[in-house]
């Protein structure tokens, strides 16, 4: 864990990086189990990980999955401040 300071405000945090390479024709969700160590409370992924909570190899994993909305569904959101907020979080 490291700290940084912006103005008079201090921030503490860390980054987690994990890399698993696969051929281009292999779907992202098939590698979800290789990216986890088993003690996660939360796991975040792009829309390529939709359906990950239904996979047999991850049944014992207790992580709460947070999967990004597909572009087609996000575009259907009304033009509201909340929709703009979600749009900014998509990445």
Q: How much is the pTM?
A: 0.57
What gap in Å lies between CA 89 and CA 91, rounded to an integer?
A: 6
The mean of the pLDDT values for the chain is 80
65 vs 70: CA distance, rounded Å: 15
pLDDT at 14 over 70: no
Q: What is the pLDDT of residues 60-86, one digit of tens each?
A: 888 898 888 777 776 676 677 877 777
- Residue 29 — pLDDT band, cuts 50, 70, 90? confident
Range of the domain at 21: 2-89
Q: How many domains does the chain have?
A: 1
Q: Are the C-beta atoms of residues 47 and 69 closer than 8 Å to each other?
A: yes
Q: What is the DSSP string of 50-78?
A: TTGGG-GGGTT--PEEEEPPPHHHHHTS-
């Amino acid at each position: 864990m490291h700290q940084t300071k912006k103005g008079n405000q201090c921030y503490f945090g860390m980054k987690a990086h994990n890399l698993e390479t696969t051929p281009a024709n292999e779907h992202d969700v098939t590698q979800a189990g290789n990216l986890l160590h088993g003690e996660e409370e939360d796991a975040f992924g792009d829309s390529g990980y939709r359906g990950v909570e239904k996979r047999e190899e991850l049944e014992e994993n207790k992580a709460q999955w947070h999967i990004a909305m597909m572009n087609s569904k996000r575009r259907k959101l009304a033009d509201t401040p909340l929709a703009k907020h979600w749009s900014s979080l998509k990445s």
